[in-house]
Structure 1
């Protein structure tokens, strides 16, 4: 029991020395001031943009498009992509601070079947010969 009391007293003394309580005559440097974060105030309070693109690649059968418009905090747009089964998937979406993100997915009619695309041979295998 005496050993435990001795160990506790030693721990308290070591802690007091580390905290500077027993070093009254020693001066410590003032803590460094925290760095001040700069805030970028160059922003547009009503951002606006519009963009669109369309890809129709007859060689690979890639078919996709997207268009989007932003007015302030309201974003509206849609995109479409040709599915492997030949249908067109179109997603029409809106996003705003009140309603969040909302999307409606539509599937369109079949399009022309995609042409077969040759697959590259694995590394080290002989290249295929096309007729």
Structure 2
């Protein structure tokens, strides 16, 4: 029984330490518009009624974890058939990748990707 309690305390302590060093957040905002009735006849002549709401939303999230070196953000906005967004992340090799994208029914999907290098300067060791 003591080992089970000790194991639970260790797991809780690790969770507290990880929480002190890592950060994660998210935000979602959905715009609920008025429903528009859409009616149509199928190829057999049957009448169908459906409802359509103009799609509109915005979301963003962020992860910052210096312990695992997991750093990323994303933001996206949709209004009807148009989607625009950006995400950024740190790759394992130290570079940062930024992607700006947009899509719509007229031009399709387009993305612009940029890589930037974060130069790490090694610490100099002084010998006495």
Give the TM-score band, short-chain normalised.
0.5 to 0.7
- In the TM superposition, 1:1-131 aligns within 5 A as 41-44=50-53, 46-110=54-118
- Relative to its length, the structure with more strand (as a share) is 2
TM-score of the superposition, structure 2-length normalised?
0.53
TM-score of the superposition, structure 1-length normalised?
0.52
What CA deviation, in whole Å up to 9, does each residue of 1:60-94 have, x standing for no partner? 11011100000110000011110111111011000
* Unpaired runs of at least 5, structure 2: 1-45, 122-128
Paired residues in the alignment total 77
Consecutive aligned runs of 4 or more in structure 1 exceeding 4 Å deviation: 37-40
Structure number with larger C-alpha Rg: 1
State the superposition RMSD in angstroms: 2.6
